Chains A and B, each alone.
Chain A
Amino acid sequence: MEVLTHLLGGVLTVLSPVNFMVLAIGLVLGMLVAVLPGLTLVMGVVLALPFTYKMGVGPALILLTAMYASGTYAGAITSILFRIPGEPMDVPLLWDGYEMTRKGQAARALGWSLAASFIGGIVSAVMMVAMAEPVARIALSFSSPEFFAVLFFGLISVVALSGDSVVNALVSLCLGLLIASVGVDSIYGSERFAFGQPFLLDGIEFLLVMVGAYGIGEVLTRLGTGFASTASAGDGQARFRTALPRWVEIVRMKYTLLRGTLTGVVVGIIPGAGATVSAFVAYGLESQYGANRKNLGTGAPEGIAVAKSAATASVGGALVPLLAMGIPGSGATAIILAAFLLHGIQPGPQVFVTSTGLVYTVFAAVFLSIIGMCILGYFAIKPLCKVLDAPEAIVSAFVVVFCFVGAFAARNSLSDLYVISVFGLIGYLAERFRFPIAPLVLGTILGPLAETNFMTMMVSFDNDWTVLFRRPISAVIMVLALAGLFWPVVRGALRHLRATRMHAERTR
């Protein structure tokens, strides 16, 4: 009952005129960045951050949360209608959504996408409200070994989940951890990797790494392959209409929607794994266990429903570790964390006591964003598709400027511009040589927390790291993390062995 009262208070706060306007702007911006091929959701949220510097913490969080939620939906429209995925998470929609469009079922495909996003989003928002406070209460009892284990699990899971090579992902993570260790260390106050440069003594903000690697790095990657003059592919088949599925059809697909939503929430909770991983994992599960798995990839509505429900459900999931433990569950929530910190609020177990109103404002913003996103998604398909007419060269030029302003405005420091330029180049090179960027960024974000908890644990437990495996909670988390790390290696080795044997038999 108390939760409902707080939530109602949050809803009323969000519905106040200024906050509601901020929410609407956030929804529109989130949809725009999700539709434009040169911009990703995380980039969009990063670019919006400088506008929140002078805002109050409430509107700032409402803006970013609205962008985050609506950004998980709009890319579906261009994927289904034009075969242009606005976001990597929308790739599964090419397999089924665009196939439905080719069969003349575009309106149905859009309807399924909207319904699945709504169901996934609302259910995950309910689960987020139900889970966050109990998780925070559990986290209150955590000591440094448990916190380190959770952080280790997050760091390892992004390695296990991402990329074509676990080794490259681990190298990328190590780079991120090293970047995070630059500057004066927080335990002993010793200088590390500052190379006599005063600006390095303060360390390298993870925001700069994100802006550089995701923003400028992505622009350079696209420049390297050639910008599209215009992304629009008006093929005459698209009728910009949404036909929502009937209630009976939704009930018939309940297990698919449930699978997608639960996968989205669970994967969203894992630090570093956001909407894209959720969508792919849910789609993978559907292709293994779904009733219509044989037709998946050929224009089956189940493919749309599972991917979209998972992507939107990841929003609620990713906010749980952020609010309850101060650990961001995705790239976008890392920016929301930055917004909290910029306003002097540290998310974590205590925030439920010290800033209850603010936490429930965020919760309410998620609910209202999901509803607003669906309303906009239903009525604004045509203008959203018009955005694709913008040449990528123009969009990318402005993206770079936004990146620079975002980096500069945080500390009014010109050296931050040099830093993001360097990380832009690193982001491009990482993409070029197949080193995933997500582990690097997550390493930079979680590195200081992981190190501090590790060092505190070693000091408190007399340098005995085995304490990680002797305390029940940390032991379970560590075992899961290690299993997650070694499973891809074992699986890869077995597959390679099988493939080599088959190849030898064929050539014999």
Chain B
Amino acid sequence: MSERVRRVLPHLVLLVITVLLYWEATQIDTSAAGEGHRIGPDFWPKAVLVIMGVLCAYEIVKRLVVKTTFTAPGLTGDLTRNPADAEARDATAADAPPAADVVVPAPPEQRWRLVAGIVLIGAFALGVDWLGFFVATALFLTTFMLIGGLRRPWLATLIGVAGSFVLIVIFMRVAYISLPLGAGPFRELSLALLRLLGVS
């Protein structure tokens, strides 16, 4: 994939989503608004989608067809740099691509960690109902710490299990928040833990 196509990819994806959502917006039931000239429930989302579509199309045309580096930064764009470095910045400003176009890729060794982190977060969301909060959290904490670069598995496991226990105490004993207990043996384990803590 060429660099230029890669740079327009986010706007291209957003444009496709915009078109699909606009089609979905045409399916909104507008009968409640009546037959007159009153605007219906589809007006607001359609208006937003039109603006979003135009903006995405503008960025795609600008980057692929006109090939200009023009980007209007927000009013605080310049303020986030040390004024003492302003001279050096001005000297390179004309040649440098706009900050909005610079996408810094994740370092290669971090990519698998990132993917693993995303998968783990998804697995936690899906698995907490079945595993219960205690087991799911202990597993999540341990694995996430290892993915994040903690090099001692035993320490990670200890923190994971102890941390999950402390969180159970804080949320269910102190803050009285009802958390998933799990299913089957995991439910039994959660109930035993709660009995131990005096929460029934």
Chain A interface extent, by class: 35 or more
Stretch at the interface among A72-80, A164-172, A244-252, A349-357: A164-172
Closest A residue to B137 by CB, please name it. Answer: A401
Q: In A280-301, which residues have CB < 8 Å from any B CB?
A: 280-281, 283-284, 287, 293, 296-298
- Chain B: how many interface residues by the 8 Å CB criterion? 90
A393, A421, A451: which contacts B150 (Cβ < 8 A)? Answer: A393
Residues of A within 8 A of B11 (CB): 171
Residues of A within 8 A of B198 (CB): none
A397-B145, A405-B167 known; A181+B70 contact, CB < 8 A: no
Q: Is B40 an interface residue (CB 8 A)?
A: yes
Give A440 Cβ to nearest chain B Cβ, in Å.
12
Closest B residue to A297 by CB, please name it. Answer: B84
Are B99 and A164 in contact, with the CB atoms below 8 A? Answer: yes
Whole-angstrom CA separation of A364 from B117 in the bound complex: 42
Q: Is A409 an interface residue (CB 8 A)?
A: yes
Are A54 and B175 in contact, with the CB atoms below 8 A? Answer: yes
Are A421 and B180 in contact, with the CB atoms below 8 A? Answer: no
Q: Is A463 an interface residue (CB 8 A)?
A: yes
Residues of B within 8 A of A455 (CB): 39, 43-44
Q: Is A408 an interface residue (CB 8 A)?
A: yes
Residues of A within 8 A of B42 (CB): 190, 192
Q: In B150-185, which residues have CB < 8 Å from any A CB?
A: 150, 159-160, 163, 167, 171, 175-180
Whole-angstrom CA separation of A269 from B197 in the bound complex: 46
Q: Is A491 an interface residue (CB 8 A)?
A: yes
Whole-angstrom CA separation of A392 from B110 in the bound complex: 15
Are B94 and A502 in contact, with the CB atoms below 8 A? Answer: yes
Closest B residue to A293 by CB, please name it. Answer: B83
Closest A residue to B166 by CB, please name it. Answer: A398
Closest B residue to A505 by CB, please name it. Answer: B94
Are B125 and A174 in contact, with the CB atoms below 8 A? Answer: no
Residues of B within 8 A of A283 (CB): 79
A165-B98, A455-B39 known; A53+B110 contact, CB < 8 A: no
Stretch at the interface among A217-225, A327-335, A373-381: A217-225
Q: Is A424 an interface residue (CB 8 A)?
A: yes
Whole-angstrom CA separation of A214 from B84 in the bound complex: 31
Residues of B within 8 A of A170 (CB): 51, 55
Q: Is A175 an interface residue (CB 8 A)?
A: yes
Are B94 and A500 in contact, with the CB atoms below 8 A? Answer: yes
A161-B75, A405-B167, A455-B44 known; A463+B39 contact, CB < 8 A: yes
Are B72 and A165 in contact, with the CB atoms below 8 A? Answer: yes
Q: Is A187 an interface residue (CB 8 A)?
A: yes
Whole-angstrom CA separation of A50 from B172 in the bound complex: 11
Q: Is B21 an interface residue (CB 8 A)?
A: yes
Residues of A within 8 A of B103 (CB): 432-434
Are B118 and A191 in contact, with the CB atoms below 8 A? Answer: no
Give A303 Cβ to nearest chain B Cβ, in Å.
9
Residues of B within 8 A of A421 (CB): 121-122, 125
Give B143 Cβ to nearest chain A Cβ, in Å.
9
Residues of B within 8 A of A224 (CB): 106, 110-111, 113-114
A170-B51, A193-B21, A433-B10 known; A489+B80 contact, CB < 8 A: no
A185-B41, A281-B76, A409-B177 known; A499+B94 contact, CB < 8 A: yes
Q: Is A458 an interface residue (CB 8 A)?
A: yes
Give B157 Cβ to nearest chain A Cβ, in Å.
12
Give 1 or 0 for each of A490-508: 1 = CB within 8 Å of chain B CB: 0111001001101100100
Are B40 and A394 in contact, with the CB atoms below 8 A? Answer: no
Whole-angstrom CA separation of A170 from B21 in the bound complex: 17
Are B107 and A181 in contact, with the CB atoms below 8 A? Answer: no
Give B94 Cβ to nearest chain A Cβ, in Å.
4
**Can you identify 22 A-B contacts, CB atoms within 8 angstroms?**
A54-B177, A91-B80, A95-B84, A164-B73, A165-B72, A168-B59, A171-B55, A181-B44, A188-B30, A227-B149, A297-B82, A297-B83, A409-B177, A417-B124, A421-B121, A433-B10, A433-B103, A434-B99, A458-B38, A463-B38, A489-B72, A493-B70
Q: A227-B149, A432-B103 are in contact. List 4 more A-B contacts (CB 8 A).
A: A164-B98, A170-B55, A190-B30, A417-B128
Across the A-B interface, give the 9 residue pairs with the lowest CB-CB distance, nearest first: A393-B148, A492-B72, A297-B84, A165-B100, A174-B52, A164-B99, A188-B32, A503-B94, A164-B100
